[in-house]
Every structure is written in C-alpha cells, then in structure tokens.
Amino acid sequence: MSEIRVCETNCEEVAKLILERLATKDLTLTSFYVNKNEAPKVLKNARVWGDYTHDQGKITIRLTPRRNLFWDSRAEKVTVDMDEYGVIVLKRILPEGKIIFRVIVY
C-alpha cells in the first residue's frame, strides 16, 4: 500500500488518482467511525458519477446512488492508502478528534 498524506497542495492530484482507479468500476464502500458503537455502513454497487469538485480545500467525488466521497484538507488530517489489489482506504481525523475510515473495494 502506498500512503499519501493529503494537504491543500496535493488534494486535487489525489482526487484525480482516486478517480482514475474507480472510473467505470462497481464499488463497495464501507464507512465507520473509530471508537463508536455503531455498525459499519456498507454501500454496494456504487459508481463514480462525474468528476470531483474542489472548493477551498474541500474535495467531493460524487458517487451513485446519492453518496459522496469527500474530505476537507484544510480542517482535517487526511491520508489515503491505495494498493494494487483494488482497495483504497481514506482516513479522516476530524478537528474534534473523531476518526472516520472509508474503505473502497473495486
């Protein structure tokens, strides 16, 4: 896996890398908070729907059905791990210290 620390200067480049890997593929997206007593949320058969948007450090990649993959590189500590086997892990550490993982399998 190659870990990328996302910041304001490379957030668009990272979004393009993610889009390159996910374009035209069926995705399974799992989202969960660390140290929260909630079951992970799983979304199957998602697809990239269009391009990404960038607004002052906030990246949004639109997915179907009605979901987004997003992060704010100005307010959050964000890392992206990508491997050659079809897995992307997005880790977001929010300002209040909560940690969210998004695991994408394609």
Q: What is the pLDDT of residues 29-39, one digit of tens each?
A: 999 999 788 89
60-76 in b/e form (b: 16+ CB < 10 A) is bbbbeeebebbbbbeeb
**pTM to 2 decimal places:** 0.91
- The ranges assigned to domains in the chain are 2-105
Mean pLDDT within 90-94 = 97
Region of 97 (left: φ > 0; alpha: ψ -120 to 50; beta: rest) is left
Instruction: Find out whether 53 and 16 touch, Cβ atoms under 8 Å.
Output: no
* Cα 68 from Cα 48, distance rounded (Å): 9
Cα radius of gyration rounded to whole Å, the chain: 13
